[in-house]
Amino acid sequence: MARAISSHGASDGASDGERHVVDRIGWLRAAVLGANDGIVSTASLIIGVAAASAPGANQTTAIVIAGTAGLVAGAMSMAAGEYVSVSAQADTENAELARERRELVDDPGGELAELAAIYVARGVDEATATTVAAQLMAKDALGAHARDELDIPLGARARPVQAAFASAASFTVGAALPLLTVFVVPAGLLVWAVGIGSLLFLALLGAIGAKTGGAIVWRGTVRVTFWGAFAMAATAAIGTLIGGAV
């Protein structure tokens, strides 16, 4: 059951600041993905409906209905998708940990040698690796193997319900931004207002995500803004074509 050197183990010697950046990747990815999806999908939906219909009270009603439906459906979809995905991860983790528990009971000597071999592969001499492995297993055998062999830190296990709520919440916040614009902007300026406002929100989101993750800020900002603009331009073109045809 030996594995290659775990990616988690590679950061064991990192400084506290570096470790903290790595520790943020999981929730940061989910939050940025949810908010980004909420902004892009809802803004694109609003722009598509606005481009397909003539300005007026009926258009505003249709946009509000479509935007609200998109917000609710998107949030539920994000929650369900994240729950299923993280549940599958949690099931895999539980199965791996159960198997490791059995192996620790059935063959503790083999598991000690296996853990020591991982440290040797990282550059530790054999005698020191064996000593370290024995000490770690004496304190928490399952935790040592989970972290260094399976790359499953016991304190950072998959949490499906938490992930589902986080994804739904971040999507809802993102989707609410372009939807609220409908209520404060004249119908004739709606497409431009939603488009520009959403791009500004996306740029801010990309900058915050990059800054929090320790990445290059301008690169994250440009990447998120470009794809958001592309999605909104595509839906505006489709809405205009459909509106003209109908």
- By the 8 A CB rule, do 11 and 22 touch? yes
- Amino acid at position 96, single letter: E
pLDDT for the residue numbered 10? 40
Spatial CB neighbours of 238, under 8 Å, sequence gap ≥ 6:
48
38 in any annotated domain: yes
pLDDT at 177 over 60: yes
**Is position 1 within any domain?**
no
**Integer Rg of the chain from CA:** 25
**Euclidean distance between CA atoms 52 and 81, whole angstroms:** 30
Evaluate if residue 84 carries a pLDDT over 80: yes
Please give the pLDDT value at position 3. 40
Domain extent, residue 39, equals: 9-245
Residue 102 lies in a domain: yes
DSSP state of 215: S
Is 149 inside any structural domain? yes
Give the model confidence (pLDDT) of 122-133 as tens digits. Answer: 888 889 989 989
- The answer to whether residue 3 is domain-embedded is no
Note whether residue 203 is domain-resident: yes
Q: Is residue 2 part of a domain?
A: no
**Domains contained in the chain, number:** 1
Please write the tens of the pLDDT for every residue from 201-235: 888 888 877 777 677 878 878 888 888 888 888 88
154 contacts 46 by C-beta, under 8 angstroms: no
pTM of the model: 0.67
H helices then E strands: how many in the chain? 8, 0
Mean pLDDT (the chain, rounded): 80
Q: How far apart are CA 10 and CA 143, in angstroms?
A: 17
Q: Among 183, 175, 160, which residue's Cα sits nearest to residue 61? A: 183
% of the chain beyond a pLDDT of 90: 12
Closest CA to 104 of 156, 66, 144: 144
Q: What is the rounded CA–CA span in Å between residue 189 and residue 143?
A: 58
Under DSSP, the state recorded for 2 is -
| Domain assignment present for 4 | no
